[in-house]
Structure 1
Amino acid sequence: MENEEVMGGTSDPVDKLIDVDEDDDDLVEVELEDVPVTVGTQKRKAKRRKTSAVWAFFEMLPAKGDGDKPCCRCKKCGNKYVSPGNYGTGTLKRHVESCYKKRTNDVAQLLLGNKDGSMSVSSSKFDPDTFRELLVAAIVMHDLPFRFVEYVGVRAIFSYLRSDVVHITRNTAKADTLKIYKRERDRIKSMLKSAPGRISLTSDLWTSIITDGYMCLTAHFLDKNWVLHKRVLNFCLMPPPHNGISLSEKIYNLLCEWGIENKVFSVTLDNASSNDTSVDMLRTQLNIKKALVCQGDLFHLRCCAHILNLIVQDGLKEIDGVVQKIRECIKYVKGSQGRKVKFFDSVKQMSLDGKKGLRQDVPTRWNSTFLMLESAIFYRRAFHHLELTDSNFKHCPIADEWNKAEKISTFLAVFYDATCVFSGTKYPTANLYFQQVFMVYLTLRQGSESEDEYVRRMAEQMLVKFEKYWSEFSIVLAIAVILDPRFKLQFVDFCYKKLYGVGGSYEYLKVREKLFALFGEYVSNVPTPSSTTNNRGKAVQDLQFKSFSKETMFVMKEFDCFESDDVVGQTQKTQLELYLEEPRMDRNAKLDILSFWKGNQFRYPELAAMVRDVLSIPISTVASESTFSVGGRVIDQFRSALKPDVVEALICSRDWLYGDKDLAESQLDDLTEDIMKMDINKENNDEPPSMGSNADMV
C-alpha cells in the first residue's frame, strides 16, 4: 500500500520540494537537496535542482521530524517560511523585494526618529548591513570623528547588544561615507536636471582652523511640485589667490561639473570687491553661451544681511559711548558668581520679572547688540539699585544715557525685524524682502529728520550706506513683490511715491519696464510645462474630432470663425497684463504664495515659469554661511588633517540627507550669550540662579 500510494499518488514529495517556475527566465543554480524517492519497495536519494532565482536568497533548513514540512530561511533577515512546494514561490519573491529594497535613505530616516525621540522604524531582526549603514549615517549626522567606531566603550556596547557583531575600522567608515556621498551626488544631479525652472546660487568663502580656504556653493530652486529646495553643491578647497579671476573660474567649473551652467538665474554673494570682479567675469562667460535671462542684468545680488549689518554698524558708531557703557555693565555682572547674586537681589527688590535673559553682545553682529540694549533697558532699575548697593559697580549709565539707549533701541527695532527675515534658516520666498527694505528705507528717511541730534546723525550716516549698496538691485526685490497677488504693481507705486514723492513715478516706470522685459524673455525663450499640456490637449481634441462626422467638424470650424469675428479689433493681452488687472487679494490674507502659483500655473504658464525662478532667489548668503558652522565642527583642532574630499563628503552628505529636517536650526539668539537664567518665582530657592541657554529662556 505504501508503494502504491507513493508511486501512483499526485503528491510526490519530490514535487513538493522542487518548484519549476515557468515564468522565471533567470534561472540560477543554488544548492542541491537530498530528497528521498521511492522506487518499488526501496528508497534511493536523488538530487534535483531548484530552478527559481528566488532560491539564491534563501537556505533550506533541516526537517525537525518525519511529519514536519520543509522550511527555508532568508539569508538577509532570517525570516522563516514553509517551503512552497507546488504552490509557487510568490511569497518568497515578495519577501525578497521588500527585504532587499532598503536603501541608506531609509536608514537616514530611521536616525531622525519621531518627535518624542523614539525611532520611527523598528525591526526584531538584526541586519548587519543596516547596522553598518546606521553607524556611518550617525557619523555624518552628528559630525562624529571616524575613530568613533573604534572607541573601546562604543564597541563594548555593540558587543553587549549583539555578541556576533562585526566591528568596522575608521578606514571602513570613511570609505562608506564616500560611497554615500557619491550615490547622493548622483541623486542631487538628477534632481537639478529635472528641475523645471532655473537655479539660483549663493556662495561664500571660509577659512578653517588651519587657515585652509574653502568655498561653499549652494543651489536654490523650485521643483515640479513648487517646493523650495536648498542644496549644498560643493564645500571644496579653494587655494589662493582668492581674487576675482580665480573665484569666477572655480564657480564656472563647478557649474559645468553639475551640468547646470545653462540653468543659472542669479548668484548672491557677500559684499567684497573680489566678488564684484568674479561676477562680471562669470556673467561674461555665461552670456557667451546665451545662458542668462536679460543678458544677466538681474544676475548679481548682494547679500542683504551683510549690507544691513554694515549699515547699522556705521550708525552705532554715533552712540558708541552709550553702547560701551552698557556692555561694561553686563561684563561686570558676569564677572563673578557673587556679582550675579547681588544683581539677582536687585532684580527682586525692583519687582522685575527675572525670567528675561540678560545678554552680552558679539560686537561684530549688530543684532546681538540690539538684543543686549533691549535686555539692559528692561533691567534699568536693577542696575541703578546695584549701583547703590555695590560700591565697586561704577559703569552704570546716567539717566540721559538710558533715555538715549531707549530711543536708539526703538529706532533699530525695524532693522532687527528685517534681519530676522533676511537671516532666517528657513528663509522665505523673495516676495517678502521688498516690504522689509521699504520699511528700513522709510525709517532712515524719517530718522534723518528727527529732532534728536544723535538719532538724526545716526540715520544720515546709515542712509548714505543704504543708497550706496541697495540702489542697484532693488528692482529684483520689486519684481518679486509684484508677483505676490496681495501687492502687485500698486504696492511698488505706493512705496516709491511715499519715499520720493513726485519723483517716485520715474522709479516705478523703471521697475515696470524691467518687469515686462523679463516676462518677454520667458514668452520667447523659456520652455514651460504648457507645451506638454498643450500637446496632450491637442491629442485629446484630435481623438474627439475623429468621432465627429465631416458635417459636424465643418459646423465647429464655422463656430471658430464666428468667435474670431466677435473679437476683431480687441488686442490680445499677455498673461502678465491679465494677472496685473485682476483685483488684489486682501493684504492681511494668509497666503502660501507657492501654493497660489502652483494652482495657477496652467492658467498663466509663461508667467508661472518666470515666477518660479524669481521667487527662489536667495537675498542673503546665510544658507551658505550656516554650512560653515558645520564645517567648524568637522574640521576642528583634532581633525584638521582630514583630506578636502573627505570634508566635502561629510558636509555635503549631511546636507543632502538631513538638511531639510533642520536638525540644528540656528537661531539669532545663538549669536548672543545668556549670562544667567533668573527666575524669582521659584519657591524655596536658596541657591543662586543657574546659567541657562536661549532655549530655556521664556
Structure 2
Amino acid sequence: MDKQKGNASGKEKEKERTLDSIMKRKLPVSGMQKGNGKGNAAATTRLPRKLTNDSSNVPIAELLYRGSHPSTSSMGRHMDTCKNYKDKINRDLIQATLFFRKTNATTSGLAVRCIEYDKDLIKEVMAKMICVHEYSFRMVEHKWFNILMKCLNPNYQPIGRKAIRAECMRVFKKERELLQVALKDVDFISLTTDLWTSNQTISYMCVVAHFIDKDWKMQTRVLSFIDLDPPHSGHVISDAIYECVTEWKIEKKIISITLDNASNNDVAVRGLKAKFAVRRGQLYPTSNIFYPHIVSIKIALRKSMSRDDECYNKMGDAMMDKFDKYWDEPNNVMVLATILDPRYKMRYIEWDYHQMYAVGKANTEKNIVRGELDTLYEKFVAKNKQAEERASGSSAKNNCNTSTSMPLMDCEFQSFLSATSSTPSKSELRNYLDDLNEAMDPMFNLHYWWRVNAPRYPVLAMMAKRFLTVLATSVSSESTFSTGGRVLGMSTCYIGC
C-alpha cells in the first residue's frame, strides 16, 4: 500500500512540475521533450498523454484546459484576452480562392491564395457599375447594399455618395484619355449629332463619332453630351460641333457629319463647310446599305406611274415629287460606298441607272460616277505612294550608296522604276471591278471581308475605310438621348440622388 501511495504521489508531482514548467518558461510542447542536455530530470520529463497528443502550435490556455480539471470559467476569461487566439480567428475569416498553378517541370495542381481587400479597386468597379447601369450615387449608402458587401467581404469599408461621385469623375477622365489615344490611330471619322430637350426644359446636344478600327470593326463613341443655351440657331450649333472636334483634336479626320432636316441645320452645315472645307457630297452622307433601299423605292414609284390605273398614277406622281425633293440632288458619296461593297460593285450602279433613268441619262450618270471613282482612286494612289517613298526612300538610297556589286546605272534605273510604277496601282481597281460579285448573303460581314482582302487591294482598302464609316441617319445620337431621358429624369436629376 505504501508503495502504491508513493507511485500516485510521484505522478501528481510529475504533472505539477510539467504544468509549472510550461507556465513559467512559455515553451512549446515539443521543447519540453528535448531536454537541456545537462541531465536535469525536470527538463527531460515527458508530458502526460493528453498533452503530448496536441500540436505544438496549440495555445497554452487550451493545453491547460485539456490537461487539468474540466472547469471552463478560467478558459473563457483567457480566450477573451488571448491575442494569438484572436489572430487565428481573424485569419480564418479572410477569404481564399482556388487557382491553378502553371504546369512546369516541378510543380502543378491546386493551391489556396488569400485575397486582400483592395479599397481602390472596389471603388473603381462600383463607379463603372453605377455608370453602366445608371444607378444613383446614393445607392452605396443603402443599408442592405452595405450588408451584402459585408457578407461578400468582412473587410469591406462603406463608401459615401460624394466619394463615389468623385470616383465616377476620375473613371470618366481615365476613359477619356484612353479614347484620345485610340483616336490618334484612326484616319477617318464620321459624326452624327442631334438636339434634345429634357423634361426640365433644358436643351442638350449630343455628338457621336463613328470609325473603323485597325481590326475593321465599326466603333461608336459619344464625344460630347452638353447643355446648349438658346437660341439654337445654325451658328450656335456649328460653333458647338466645331468646339467639340477641336477639343478632341480630330478636325483633320472628319469626313462627314449627319444631321436631321431641320432648317437651322442647313445654316450649321454651311458654317461647318467653311470651317472644314469639306468637298461637296460629304455633307449629306449615307452608307452603302442605304443606297439600294433608295433605289428600290424609286424603281417602285416609276412602275406605279406607268400603270394604267389613274389612281396609281396620281399617287406615284405625288410621291415622286416628294422623293425628288430630297434625292434629286446628286450625292455620289453613297454611290461610291456601294461600289466598294463587293456584293454590288459597278455592275449594280449600271443596272439601277438603267432602271431609274432613260438610256441617255443613265449612260451620262454612269460616266460621271466612273470619272469620280477614277479621280478619287488616283488621289489615294498618290497618297499611298508618298507614304511608301517616305518609308523606303532613305533605305533604298543607302543600299545604292553602300553596294559595291551593283552598278551605278542600275541604281538610277531602280529610281526610274519607282517613279513610274503606276501600272500596278491602276490594275488594282480594274481587278476589283472585274472580279465576280460576292453572293447576297444576309450574314455577309463587309468589314471582315475588307480586313481579309486589304493586302490584295491596299489602296481600295484605304478608300473603303473612309467611305464605309459614313452613317445614313442620326439614330445613334437620338439613341443617346434615350439614355439621357432616363438619367436626367425627375427622380434622378439631382446630383445627390
Q: Do they fold alike, i.e. is TM over 0.5?
A: yes
Equivalent position of 1:174 in the other structure: 165
Provide, for residues 614-666 of structure 1, a one-character-per-residue CA deviation record: whole Å limited to 9, x for no partner: 011111111111111111110111122359xx9xxxxxxxxxxxxxxxxxxxx
Residues 330-409 of structure 1: matches in 2 within 5 Å? none
- Give yes or no for the alignment of 1:240 onto 2:92: no
Equivalent position of 1:135 in the other structure: 126
Equivalent position of 1:230 in the other structure: 220
| Residues 613, 440 of structure 1: alpha-carbon distance in 2 compared, 3 angstrom cutoff | same
CA distance in 2, matches of 1:201, 1:300: 11
Give the Å deviation of 1:147: 1.3
Equivalent position of 1:70 in the other structure: none
Instruction: Pick from 168, 176, 185 the counterpart of residue 194 of structure 1.
Output: 185
Moved more, 502-511 or 277-286: 502-511
What secondary structure does 2:451 align onto?
Answer: helix
CA distance in 1, matches of 2:397, 2:456: 19
Give the Å deviation of 1:536: 5.4
Equivalent position of 1:297 in the other structure: 280
Larger radius of gyration: 2
- Give yes or no for the alignment of 1:507 onto 2:365: yes
What secondary structure does 1:618 align onto?
Answer: coil
CA distance in 2, matches of 1:433, 1:194: 28
Where does the alignment leave 5 or more consecutive residues of structure 1 unmatched? 1-63, 66-76, 81-121, 305-429, 647-698
CA distance in 2, matches of 1:230, 1:574: 34
CA distance in 2, matches of 1:559, 1:470: 53
CA distance in 2, matches of 1:614, 1:222: 10
| Residues 207, 255 of structure 1: alpha-carbon distance in 2 compared, 3 angstrom cutoff | same
What secondary structure does 1:202 align onto?
Answer: strand
| Residues 539, 261 of structure 1: alpha-carbon distance in 2 compared, 3 angstrom cutoff | same
CA contact (8 A) 2:117 2:156 kept: no
What secondary structure does 2:358 align onto?
Answer: helix
What secondary structure does 2:135 align onto?
Answer: coil
Amino acid at match of 1:249: D
CA distance in 1, matches of 2:343, 2:195: 37
Equivalent position of 2:434 in the other structure: 582
Q: How many residues get paired?
A: 389
Residues 56-71 of structure 1: matches in 2 within 5 Å? none
CA contact (8 A) 2:139 2:145 kept: yes
| Residues 154, 482 of structure 1: alpha-carbon distance in 2 compared, 3 angstrom cutoff | same
CA distance in 2, matches of 1:580, 1:604: 8
| Residues 556, 184 of structure 1: alpha-carbon distance in 2 compared, 3 angstrom cutoff | same
CA distance in 1, matches of 2:191, 2:395: 39
CA distance in 1, matches of 2:423, 2:121: 65
Give the Å deviation of 1:452: 5.4
Equivalent position of 2:143 in the other structure: 152
Equivalent position of 2:489 in the other structure: 636
Amino acid at match of 1:171: K
Equivalent position of 2:204 in the other structure: 214
CA contact (8 A) 1:223 1:229 kept: yes
Give the Å deviation of 1:600: 4.0
Provide, for residues 35-57 of structure 1, a one-character-per-residue CA deviation record: whole Å limited to 9, x for no partner: xxxxxxxxxxxxxxxxxxxxxxx
What secondary structure does 1:277 align onto?
Answer: helix
Equivalent position of 2:350 in the other structure: 493
What secondary structure does 2:288 align onto?
Answer: helix
Give the Å deviation of 1:451: 5.2
CA distance in 1, matches of 2:266, 2:465: 26
- Give yes or no for the alignment of 1:625 onto 2:478: yes
Residues 545-560 of structure 1: matches in 2 within 5 Å? 550=405, 553-554=406-407, 557=410
Instruction: Pick from 368, 372, 377 the counterpart of residue 519 of structure 1.
Output: 377
| Residues 456, 143 of structure 1: alpha-carbon distance in 2 compared, 3 angstrom cutoff | farther
Equivalent position of 2:339 in the other structure: 482
What secondary structure does 2:140 align onto?
Answer: helix
Where does the alignment leave 5 or more consecutive residues of structure 2 unmatched? 1-56, 59-93, 98-112
CA contact (8 A) 1:283 1:299 kept: no
Task: Flag the structure with more relative contact order, 1 or 2, with Cα contacts below 8 A and sequence separation at least 6.
Answer: 1
Give the Å deviation of 1:137: 1.4
CA distance in 2, matches of 1:163, 1:529: 64
Q: What percentage of residue pairs aligned between the two structures are identical?
A: 31
Amino acid at match of 1:442: I
Equivalent position of 2:329 in the other structure: 472
| Residues 574, 259 of structure 1: alpha-carbon distance in 2 compared, 3 angstrom cutoff | same
Equivalent position of 2:270 in the other structure: 280
What secondary structure does 2:232 align onto?
Answer: coil
What secondary structure does 1:300 align onto?
Answer: coil
CA distance in 2, matches of 1:171, 1:208: 25
Instruction: Pick from 374, 387, 391 the counterpart of residue 535 of structure 1.
Output: 391
Q: CA RMSD in A?
A: 3.8
CA distance in 2, matches of 1:186, 1:444: 50
Equivalent position of 2:81 in the other structure: none
CA distance in 1, matches of 2:293, 2:280: 23
Moved more, 572-581 or 212-221: 572-581
| Residues 135, 480 of structure 1: alpha-carbon distance in 2 compared, 3 angstrom cutoff | same
Amino acid at match of 2:353: Y
Instruction: Pick from 424, 429, 438 the counterpart of residue 295 of structure 2.
Output: 438
Equivalent position of 1:106 in the other structure: none
CA contact (8 A) 1:301 1:473 kept: no
| Residues 540, 560 of structure 1: alpha-carbon distance in 2 compared, 3 angstrom cutoff | closer
CA distance in 2, matches of 1:252, 1:470: 27
CA distance in 1, matches of 2:492, 2:246: 31
CA distance in 1, matches of 2:460, 2:199: 47
| Residues 200, 558 of structure 1: alpha-carbon distance in 2 compared, 3 angstrom cutoff | closer
Amino acid at match of 2:323: F
Amino acid at match of 2:449: F
CA contact (8 A) 1:519 1:576 kept: no
Amino acid at match of 2:284: L
Residues 80-119 of structure 1: matches in 2 within 5 Å? none
Give the Å deviation of 1:124: 5.7
- Give yes or no for the alignment of 1:463 onto 2:446: no
Give the Å deviation of 1:556: 9.7
| Residues 533, 639 of structure 1: alpha-carbon distance in 2 compared, 3 angstrom cutoff | farther
CA contact (8 A) 1:158 1:165 kept: yes
| Residues 529, 150 of structure 1: alpha-carbon distance in 2 compared, 3 angstrom cutoff | farther
CA distance in 2, matches of 1:639, 1:141: 15
Give the Å deviation of 1:299: 2.5
| Residues 128, 576 of structure 1: alpha-carbon distance in 2 compared, 3 angstrom cutoff | same
CA distance in 1, matches of 2:337, 2:151: 58
CA contact (8 A) 2:282 2:333 kept: no
Give the Å deviation of 1:571: 6.8
| Residues 630, 581 of structure 1: alpha-carbon distance in 2 compared, 3 angstrom cutoff | closer
Instruction: Pick from 588, 593, 598 the counterpart of residue 451 of structure 2.
Output: 598
| Residues 602, 163 of structure 1: alpha-carbon distance in 2 compared, 3 angstrom cutoff | closer
CA contact (8 A) 1:209 1:640 kept: no
CA distance in 2, matches of 1:151, 1:163: 17
Amino acid at match of 1:486: R
With the length of structure 1 as denominator, give the TM-score of the two structures: 0.50
CA distance in 2, matches of 1:558, 1:150: 76
What secondary structure does 1:194 align onto?
Answer: coil
CA contact (8 A) 2:140 2:160 kept: yes
Amino acid at match of 1:471: D
